[in-house]
């Protein structure tokens, strides 16, 4: 498994209208360029329909936004880990706030990610669930209070304790799990604050996807890491 280099900026483009097909390829290219200029590690999680296209246009790691806890077979319309991998994804988000899974299925998705060689980030909503997720032994836990997702205030400003306490709780259970910080992350200041609080990167979405000048925002985020 090619574990993401940290500190890292992971962009989740969700199903935003600004991030379909050619548009998400453009965003990925900007990330690739800024990543090269600044030597900051970057990855992009895209819709299943776009994994193949983005993968063939950029060198940064392309991730899936979701996998289902299934093996090859009769599962019409669900997201098969093998298919995501075949299309070119090297990792996957699991249990995003907008796509919650049962505890048993988070565990099953992790097993499937291991079996298919997909890096993985389990998304969580608070300190307790971050600790629980760490017990399942993922590579990353991304803590994102749902009420801050998509908003204008970064979790690092609104609730810094949730980040540092999640880092502490996660490390208590499993030293090898890295913590990302999400929800409301918008600029370089948010990123550097996130690292200060003990996280090893950020997971963000609207801050980049909805920005008028995406290059400027991505560059600013990267500068927060350097």
Q: Which residues are registered as beta bridge partners of 43?
A: 10
Per-residue x/- track, 17-36, its own copies (CB under 8 A):
x--xx---------------
Active-site pick, 65, 66, 144, 200: 144
Per-residue x/- track, 1-20, its own copies (CB under 8 A):
-----------x-xxxx--x
Which residue among 104, 161, 175, 212 contacts its own copies (CB under 8 A)? 104
Cβ-Cβ contacts under 8 Å for 5 (sequence gap 6 or more): 41
Residue 144 known to be catalytic: yes
User: Rule CB under 8 A: which of 151-210 touch its own copies?
Assistant: 169, 173, 205-206
Which residue among 37, 39, 75, 196 contacts its own copies (CB under 8 A)? 75
Residue 96 known to be catalytic: yes
Q: How long is the chain?
A: 226
Which residue among 96, 112, 193, 214 contacts its own copies (CB under 8 A)? 96
Q: Which is nearer to its own copies, 21 or 117 (CB)?
A: 21
Q: Is 79 in the site for its own copies (CB under 8 A)?
A: yes
User: Could you give the CA distance from residue 64 to residue 95 in angstroms, rounded to a whole number?
Assistant: 12
Active-site pick, 65, 66, 96, 200: 96
User: Could you give the CA distance from residue 186 to residue 156 in angstroms, rounded to a whole number?
Assistant: 11
Give the range of 33-41, 95-103, 151-159, 181-189 binding its own copies by CB under 8 A: 95-103
Q: Identify whether the C-beta of residue 47 lies closer than 8 Å to the C-beta of residue 13.
A: yes
Which residue among 6, 26, 137, 164 contacts its own copies (CB under 8 A)? 137
Cis peptide before 201 (omega within 30 of 0): no
94: left (phi over 0), alpha (psi -120 to 50) or beta: beta
Q: In whole angstroms, how close is the CB of 125 to its own copies at the nearest point?
A: 5
User: Could you give the CA distance from residue 119 to residue 23 in angstroms, rounded to a whole number?
Assistant: 25
User: Could you give the CA distance from residue 195 to residue 162 in angstroms, rounded to a whole number?
Assistant: 13
Question: What DSSP line would sit under 146-206, residue for residue?
Answer: GGGTTSSS-HHHH-HHHHHHHHHHHHHH-TT-EEEEESS--SHHHHHHHHHTT-SEEEESH
Q: Which is nearer to its own copies, 136 or 225 (CB)?
A: 136
Give the residue numbers annotated as catalytic, written as ranges: 96, 144
Contact residues for its own copies, defined by CB under 8 A: 12, 14-17, 20-21, 45, 47-53, 64-66, 70, 72-80, 82-84, 86-87, 93, 95-107, 124-126, 128-129, 131-137, 149-150, 169, 173, 205-206
């Amino acid at each position: 498994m090619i574990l993401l280099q940290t500190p890292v900026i992971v962009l989740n483009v969700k199903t935003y209208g600004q991030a379909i097909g050619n548009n998400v390829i453009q965003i990925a290219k900007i990330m690739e360029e800024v990543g090269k200029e600044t030597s900051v590690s970057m990855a992009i999680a895209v819709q299943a329909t776009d994994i193949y296209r983005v993968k063939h246009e950029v060198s940064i790691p392309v991730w899936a936004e979701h996998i289902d806890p299934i093996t090859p077979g009769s599962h019409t319309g669900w997201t098969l880990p093998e298919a995501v991998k075949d299309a070119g994804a090297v990792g996957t988000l699991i249990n995003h706030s907008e796509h919650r899974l049962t505890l048993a299925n988070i565990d099953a998705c992790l097993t499937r990610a291991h079996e298919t060689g997909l890096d993985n980030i389990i998304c969580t909503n608070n300190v307790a669930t971050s600790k629980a997720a760490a017990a399942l032994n993922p590579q990353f836990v991304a803590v994102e209070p749902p009420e801050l997702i998509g908003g204008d205030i970064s979790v690092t400003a609104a609730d810094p304790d949730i980040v540092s306490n999640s880092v502490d709780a996660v490390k208590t259970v499993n030293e090898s799990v890295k913590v990302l910080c999400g929800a409301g992350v918008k600029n370089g200041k948010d990123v550097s604050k996130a690292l200060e609080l003990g996280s090893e990167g950020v997971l963000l979405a609207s801050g980049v996807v909805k920005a008028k000048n995406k290059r400027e925002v991505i560059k600013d985020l990267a500068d927060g890491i350097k």
